[in-house]
């Protein structure tokens, strides 16, 4: 567990090895508590066990899909980003834990294996129904986790356990779903989805009495089930790769969000101007934590105790409104552990009747990377920099690189940040890096040919040379900015330092 660090994996706080009061050996791991329990409890609640699950089916299609994406993201990290790669070997609903925001975290690495497994035969005791067939022959690989994920995905969207009494040697969950798709999909889907489908159809009819629009939600559910079937194929070489699985599920989510049932429900309830005003003590200078080209950022606390950061846009400055729109557009399409989370946005008027636009972010208690590299003024940056360990800097650099890879490779369409610099890398309470400020972001490729040559006003020293020539935004521009940021982190010298002149 010391080698694992990911937003969707349960955090190990510490470990203990010693003796109890009777002198017997005592070993324990201490985890971060997950207040919403396990996915098992939400899919198959026991009546009367917990008031939290009094409504037995309270996970709609979007919530389940978000959880599935979280699990796929964790597996993608274990299989492709870890050195060495890791196979979890025991993926099942009870090992998927949910935090207070219903974000999924993969736990229980008790039978995990580092890959490749050096021995020719290894005994892996997984869980019946979820364990891959080849594990019975001692063959362990990342494709075994993909099989388990496929079964879990089918269970999440059919409501049936893989060890249900209806399944026997001739019929299993994989074959049951595969034989029903696509014509008899409604027969095998969890009944809780019918209410969403009916709501969608009602909305289409209200829009037009002659509307014959087929259910997009049903199409998405069928696509999810097909993904589960493709993952749980009997032969390992016939299964999908987990990075392809994650990408496919994100595309399905994008389609699902366009349905009238979910359109406009993608953020928390919007606070009023009064709420933001009170939270920030009237946008007091004492709450000011940063200022940029298009606005100022204030910290604050909402009435429910939530700590937030509020970016208030300067609408008098040219580009202020456009920057607000870019932030909102990016927020709808982005969800990643290393990107600052946007809670909501506000567009209206202030107490004087003037236009007011703001974006509300999750507060990052450790400020920006800029402050850690140099301090809040240049007089004390060197001692702070000395104590800022090389390993921590490398961890933050990896966090930023992960965020850029997600924006460039996993988002559809890809997104170029266009303003990467230390002040736009924010650090949470665990010193994990999060990329923020998407006010200059561009969606790629630029479909509008008039935007082929577009003015991008980044930050001097970090902006790539081609942007000064009017070239269109590209992912390579972000790579240039990242390279400069990396050099700054490990040399301690700003790219705009006075020692640099001309070429």
Closest CA to 154 of 136, 130, 171, 132: 130
Q: What is the mean pLDDT of the chain?
A: 84
Q: Cα–Cα distance between 93 and 42 in angstroms, integer?
A: 9
Q: Both 204 and 330 in a single domain?
A: no
With beta carbons less than 8 A apart as the criterion, state whether 479 and 405 touch: no
Contacts of 233 (CB under 8 A, 6+ apart): 147, 150, 174, 239
Residue 169 φ/ψ region, left for φ over 0, alpha for ψ in the -120 to 50 degree band, beta for the rest = alpha
Per-residue confidence (pLDDT) for residue 331, from 0 to 100? 77
Q: Both 137 and 256 in a single domain?
A: yes
Residue 494 in domain: yes
Per-residue confidence (pLDDT) for residue 101, from 0 to 100? 76
**Among all chains, which residue has been given the structure tokens 């170029």?**
416
Residue 216 in domain: yes
Q: Cα–Cα distance between 165 and 146 in angstroms, integer?
A: 24
**Rounded alpha-carbon distances, angstroms, from residue 470 to 457, 467, 474:** 10, 5, 12
355-374 core/surface letters (b: 16 or more CB in 10 A; e: else): ebbbbbbbbbeeebbbbbbb
SS3 416: strand
CATH, residue 143: 1.10.510.10
Q: Both 302 and 259 in a single domain?
A: no
Q: Both 238 and 340 in a single domain?
A: no
Q: Cα–Cα distance between 47 and 49 in angstroms, integer?
A: 6
* Total of domains in the chain: 3
CB under 8 Å, gap of 24 or more: what pairs does 368-374 form? 368/290, 368/422, 368/423, 368/424, 368/425, 368/426, 368/427, 369/396, 369/422, 369/423, 369/425, 369/426, 369/427, 369/433, 369/489, 370/421, 370/422, 370/423, 370/425, 372/427, 373/422, 373/488, 373/489, 373/492
Closest CA to 410 of 362, 444, 440: 444
The residue range of the domain holding 93 is 12-264
Per-residue confidence (pLDDT) for residue 470, from 0 to 100? 73
- Please indicate whether residue 90 is annotated as part of the active site: yes
Q: Both 192 and 162 in a single domain?
A: yes
> Given 70, 90, 108, 190, which residue is catalytic?
90
Measured from the Cβ of residue 60, the count of other Cβ atoms closer than 10 Å reads: 16
Per-residue confidence (pLDDT) for residue 456, from 0 to 100? 59
Q: Cα–Cα distance between 147 and 131 in angstroms, integer?
A: 8
Q: Both 422 and 355 in a single domain?
A: no
Q: Both 325 and 455 in a single domain?
A: no
Q: Both 236 and 288 in a single domain?
A: no
Q: Both 104 and 226 in a single domain?
A: yes
**Rounded alpha-carbon distances, angstroms, from residue 56 to 51, 68, 173, 323:** 10, 19, 22, 43
Closest CA to 42 of 88, 5, 93, 87: 93
147-166 core/surface letters (b: 16 or more CB in 10 A; e: else): bbbbbbbbbbbbbbbbeeee
Q: Both 207 and 247 in a single domain?
A: yes
- Is 311 one of the annotated binding-site residues? yes
Contacts of 420 (CB under 8 A, 6+ apart): 400, 404, 435, 462, 478, 481, 482, 485
* pLDDT digits (tens), the chain, 503 positions: 666 778 899 988 888 999 999 999 999 989 889 988 999 999 988 765 444 444 444 688 988 999 999 999 999 999 998 778 999 999 999 999 998 878 899 999 988 888 886 554 455 667 889 999 988 787 888 999 999 999 999 999 999 999 998 988 789 999 999 999 999 999 999 988 888 888 877 877 666 655 555 688 999 999 999 999 999 999 999 999 999 999 999 999 988 888 877 764 544 456 788 889 988 999 999 999 888 778 899 998 876 667 899 999 998 888 888 888 888 887 777 888 899 988 888 888 888 889 999 999 989 989 999 988 876 554 444 344 445 678 889 999 999 999 999 999 988 889 999 999 999 999 998 889 999 988 888 888 754 444 444 555 667 889 898 887 777 889 999 999 999 999 999 998 999 887 887 66
Residue 287 in domain: yes
Q: What is the pLDDT of residues 48-63, one digit of tens each?
A: 544 444 444 468 898 8
Residue 466 in domain: yes
Beta bridge partners of 346: 358
Backbone angles phi, psi at 28, to 5 degrees: -150, 150
Q: What is the pLDDT of residues 424-443, one digit of tens each?
A: 999 998 889 999 988 888 88
């Amino acid at each position: 567990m010391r080698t694992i660090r990911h937003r969707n994996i349960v955090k190990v706080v510490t470990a203990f090895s010693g003796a109890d009061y009777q002198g017997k050996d005592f070993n324990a791991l201490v985890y971060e508590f997950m207040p919403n329990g396990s996915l098992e409890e939400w899919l198959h609640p026991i009546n009367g066990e917990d008031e939290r699950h009094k409504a037995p089916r309270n996970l709609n299609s979007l919530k389940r899909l978000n959880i599935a994406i979280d699990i796929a993201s964790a597996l993608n990290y274990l299989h492709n980003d870890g050195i060495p790669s890791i196979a979890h070997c025991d993926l099942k609903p009870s090992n998927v834990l949910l935090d207070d925001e219903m974000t999924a975290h993969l736990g229980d690495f008790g039978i995990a294996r580092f890959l490749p497994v050096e021995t020719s035969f290894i005994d892996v005791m997984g869980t019946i129904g979820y364990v891959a067939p080849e594990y019975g022959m001692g063959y362990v690989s990342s494709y075994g986790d993909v099989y388990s994920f496929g079964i879990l995905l089918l269970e999440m969207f059919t409501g049936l356990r893989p060890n249900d009494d209806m399944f026997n040697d001739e019929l299993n969950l994989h074959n049951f779903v595969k034989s029903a798709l696509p014509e008899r999909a409604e027969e095998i889907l969890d009944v809780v989805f019918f209410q969403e489908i009916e709501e969608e159809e009602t909305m289409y009819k209200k829009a037009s009495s002659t509307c014959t629009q087929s259910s997009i939600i049903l199409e998405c559910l069928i696509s999810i089930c097909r993904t589960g079937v493709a993952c749980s194929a009997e032969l390992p070489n016939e299964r999908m790769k987990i990075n392809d699985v994650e990408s496919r599920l994100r595309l399905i989510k994008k389609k699902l969000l366009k349905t009238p049932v979910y359109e406009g429900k993608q953020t928390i309830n919007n606070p009023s101007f009064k709420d933001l005003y009170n939270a920030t003590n009237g946008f007091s200078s004492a709450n000011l934590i940063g200022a940029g080209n298009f606005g100022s950022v204030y910290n604050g606390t909402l009435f429910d105790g939530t700590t937030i950061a509020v970016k208030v846009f300067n609408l008098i400055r040219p580009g202020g409104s456009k920057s607000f729109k870019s932030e909102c557009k990016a927020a709808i399409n982005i969800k990643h552990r290393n990107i600052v989370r946007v809670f909501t946005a506000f567009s209206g008027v202030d107490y004087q009747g003037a236009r007011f636009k703001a974006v509300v972010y999750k507060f990052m208690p450790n400020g920006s990377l800029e402050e850690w590299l140099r301090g809040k003024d240049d007089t004390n940056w060197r001692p702070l920099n000395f104590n800022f360990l090389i390993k921590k800097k490398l961890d933050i650099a990896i966090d930023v690189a992960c965020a850029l890879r997600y924006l460039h490779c996993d988002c559809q369409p890809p997104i170029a940040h266009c303003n990467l610099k230390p002040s736009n890398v924010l650090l949470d309470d665990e010193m994990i890096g999060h990329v923020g400020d998407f006010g200059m972001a561009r969606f790629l490729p630029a479909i509008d040919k008039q935007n082929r040559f577009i003015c991008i006003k980044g930050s001097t020293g970090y902006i790539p040379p081609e942007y000064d020539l009017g070239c269109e935004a590209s992912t390579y521009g972000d790579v240039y900015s990242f390279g400069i940021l990396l050099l700054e982190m490990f040399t301690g010298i700003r790219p705009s330092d006075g020692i640099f002149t001309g070429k």
